[in-house]
């Protein structure tokens, strides 16, 4: 989220992200980005479809429970942050 640090919603998002345990993982496979983003559901959990992670477990547009890269470039950048040995 480096490109969003000046947004008014960034500080509360950051506070939520560091408020408890976090699990980072790398998933790979055919169409992994679109498949995982589909499983996650809409960013705003209040609008996410039932059966998605956000649709079933989120009540917020900020505390959205999960993150998924939106492109191969984003995935590479994010993997380097969390898993520099990859």
Tens of pLDDT along 25-57? 999 999 999 999 999 999 898 999 999 999 999
CA distance 84 to 86: 6
Q: 48-86 pLDDT, tens per residue?
A: 999 999 999 998 887 878 999 999 999 999 999 999 998
Residue 52, CB half-sphere, CA atoms under 13 Å: how many?
Answer: 23
Q: Which CATH number fits the domain 2-82, given the four candidates 3.40.50.10490, 3.40.50.450, 3.30.70.141, 3.40.50.720?
A: 3.30.70.141
Residue spans of the domains in the chain: they are: 2-82
Q: Which of 30, 4, 16 is nearest to 61 (CA)?
A: 16
Residue 67 designated active-site: yes
Q: Which of the residues 13, 67, 78, 79 is marked catalytic?
A: 67
CA distance 72 to 59: 29
| Structure tokens given for 62 | 């900020």
What's the pTM value of the predicted model, to 2 decimals?
0.82
């Amino acid at each position: 989220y480096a490109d969003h640090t000046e947004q008014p919603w960034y500080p509360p998002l950051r506070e939520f992200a560091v408020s408890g345990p976090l699990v980072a993982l790398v998933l790979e496979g055919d169409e992994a980005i679109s498949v995982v983003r589909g499983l996650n559901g809409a960013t705003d959990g209040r609008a996410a479809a039932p059966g998605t992670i956000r649709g079933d477990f989120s009540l917020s547009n900020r505390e959205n429970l999960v993150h998924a890269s939106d492109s191969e470039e984003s995935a590479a950048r994010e993997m380097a942050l969390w898993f520099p040995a990859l």
